[in-house]
Amino acid sequence: MYNQKEGRWEDRIFDRLDLPKDIFPDIIKPGEKIDNISNKVCSELEIETMPVIAPAAHDTSSAVAGIPVVNKNKNWAFISMGTWCIIGKETESPIINDQAFNAGFSNEGGVEGINLFVNHITGLWIIQQCREKWIKDSSKLISWEEIVKLSSTARPFKSFINVNDPIFAQTQVNMPKTINKYCKDKGQALPESIGEISRCIYESLAMKFKHDLNKLEELTGKKNRNSPSCGRRNSK
């Protein structure tokens, strides 16, 4: 519904869906002044009035804006780590074509008029769901440190999963069992222990990152010199 190239609501979509445009708010970009803090709030906090400035409303956009890249002209990509991971690159304008669409890439607004060309990946959700199941089955706390230690002792490159397969994005599943079945169906060695399953997940994520970074270079025509990682934090 938003025209990413022109930075406005797309009239043709509103007309096709017979939607009144006045039910949608004005588009406010990061860095723009929204209004001033209300007098009531200023009085309660005993502060002088001050402007309310719009941030990059998506947490990833704000996280990427904070990456300390000294030379913005150098080619770099980012990996935003979380329950869902996002791999992307800052571009001057949206990249909209069949190749990008078929590869799962999309465009999001960034700060200072920058476009974020990104791909969303089922990320640490998979290992988080496994940990919940392991804790439930053992009736004891299993720390992340313990999981990482066990994964480091497991045999490398034993089995892999496609982390973006829809079966790994489900909420009400036995995730360790789902991973085991996936590997069995693909004719791979079966990861069974905590160390084997966690190593399978971590290595599969790493391979997905590598694949998407290569695809990012192909779609943008620019070699990535480095790929810093950033994180996102919500209120939970």
pLDDT (0 to 100) of residue 109? 87
Contacting residues for 96 by C-beta, under 8 A, at least 6 apart: 4, 5, 107
Q: Per the domain annotation, does 63 fall within a domain?
A: no
**What is the C-alpha to C-alpha distance for residues 71 and 115, in angstroms, rounded to an integer?**
17
Q: Whats the size of the chain, residue-wise?
A: 236
Q: Per the domain annotation, does 186 fall within a domain?
A: yes
pLDDT (0 to 100) of residue 72? 63
Q: Per the domain annotation, does 27 fall within a domain?
A: yes
Q: Per the domain annotation, does 113 fall within a domain?
A: no
Q: Per the domain annotation, does 59 fall within a domain?
A: no
Q: Are 155 and 196 in contact (CB under 8 A)?
A: yes
Q: What is the mean pLDDT of the chain?
A: 90
Q: Per the domain annotation, does 220 fall within a domain?
A: no
Q: Are 9 and 2 in contact (CB under 8 A)?
A: yes
Catalytic residue among 15, 59, 137, 185: 59
Contacting residues for 23 by C-beta, under 8 A, at least 6 apart: none
* Half-sphere exposure (Cβ direction) of 46: Cα atoms closer than 13 Å: 0
Q: How many domains does the chain have?
A: 2
Q: Are 157 and 119 in contact (CB under 8 A)?
A: no
pLDDT (0 to 100) of residue 70? 64
Q: Is the pLDDT of residue 203 over 90?
A: yes
Is pTM, for the whole model, over 0.85?
no
Q: Per the domain annotation, does 227 fall within a domain?
A: no
Give the pLDDT mean for 81-87: 92
Instruction: Considering only residues 211 and 233, tell me which one the structure prediction assigns the higher pLDDT.
Output: 211
Q: Per the domain annotation, does 7 fall within a domain?
A: yes
pLDDT (0 to 100) of residue 182? 97
pLDDT tens digits, one per residue of 118-153: 999 999 999 999 999 999 999 999 999 999 999 999
> If pLDDT is split at 50, 70 and 90, which confidence band does 49 have?
very high
Q: First CA to last CA across the chain, in angstroms?
A: 30
**What is the C-alpha to C-alpha distance for residues 43 and 105, in angstroms, rounded to an integer?**
47
Q: Is the pLDDT of residue 57 over 80?
A: no
**DSSP state string for the chain:** -EETTTTEE-HHHHHHHT--GGGSPPP--TT-EEEEPPHHHHHHHT----EEE---SSHHHHHHHTS--S-TTS-B-EEEESSEEEEEEEESS---SHHHHHTTEEEEE-GGG-EEEEEEEE-THHHHHHHHHHHHHHTS---HHHHHHHHHHSPTTS----TTSGGGS-SSS-HHHHHHHHHHHTTPPPP-SHHHHHHHHHHHHHHHHHHHHHHHHHHHT---SB--EEE-----
pLDDT (0 to 100) of residue 231? 66
* Structural domain span for residue 22: 2-53
Is residue 59 flagged as an active site residue?
Answer: yes
Give the pLDDT mean for 175-191: 97
